[in-house]
Amino acid sequence: MTLLWIITGVAIIVSLAADRRKTRASLIKGLKMFWGVLPLLLGVLGLVSVVLAAVTPEMLQHVLSGSGPVPFFTALGIGSIALMPGFIAYPLAGLLRQNGASTATLAAFITSLMMVGILTLPLEARFFGWRVSLLRNGLALVGAALVAAVMVMVLP
């Protein structure tokens, strides 16, 4: 995070040295874009946090432990609810593993958690349009199942 701010700062200074007016125009453009998506972003984050609060780690442990197709598909389904960054996904997955979730379930859960997001779809559609967003999420869901299936073969 700090690195990102440093890089941005250096880039702005270099840009300012090269051309003041161009820099001003570009920074205003970037901030306008940010301002434009901010309300939608806040709404989606609000929605995700409400759903996240409803799904407790204990519940997940209950439905995702054990082996077989049921926990596997449940993991895919729950993982698809929202796009989650790794720092939420990994600790949760670590907890699930301690409670006896299988490799397939864990891989399906992590991959779909990071790549498929139904609640975050409006945000994605704002940038890419509904067609691309729906297609990307659909394919990513299939991909998550595939990753999990291969993982079982690699790590018995």
Partner 1 sequence: MKGLRKALPTFRTLWPWVMVATVAGLWACSRFCGGLAFGLRAGESLGGFLVEMALVLPPMFLLIGLFDVWVPREFVERHAGRCAGASAVPWMVLLATVQAGPLYAAFPVAVSLWRKGCAPQNVFIYLGAFSAMKIPMLTFEVAFLGWRFSLARTLVTLPVFIVIGVVLARLLPADFEPPGADSGPGAPGGSRCREPAPVCRSEPQPGNSAGG
Residue 85, CA atoms < 13 Å, CB-side half-sphere: 2
- Decide if residue 10 touches partner 1 (CB under 8 A): no
Q: Measured between alpha carbons, how far is 96 from 82 in angstroms, rounded to an integer?
A: 18
φ/ψ of residue 101, rounded to 5: -75, 145
Rule CB under 8 A: say whether 5 interacts with partner 1.
Answer: yes
* Six-digit token string for 48: 């995700």
Single residue of 17, 20, 34, 77 touching partner 1 by CB under 8 A:
34
Please give the residues from 43 up to 82 whose contact with partner 1 meets the rule CB under 8 A: 43-50, 52-54, 56
CB of 79 to partner 1, least distance (A): 12
Measured between alpha carbons, how far is 101 from 80 in angstroms, rounded to an integer? 18
CB nearer to partner 1: pick between 68 and 94: 94
CB-nearer residue toward partner 1: 70 or 139: 139
Nearer to partner 1, 28 or 70 (CB): 28
Residues 75-94 that bind partner 1 (CB under 8 A): 83-87, 90-91, 93-94
| Interatomic CA distance for residues 154 and 25, integer angstroms | 51
* Of 123, 140, 40, nearest in space to 80 by CA: 140
Q: How far is the CB of 145 from partner 1 (least distance, A)?
A: 10
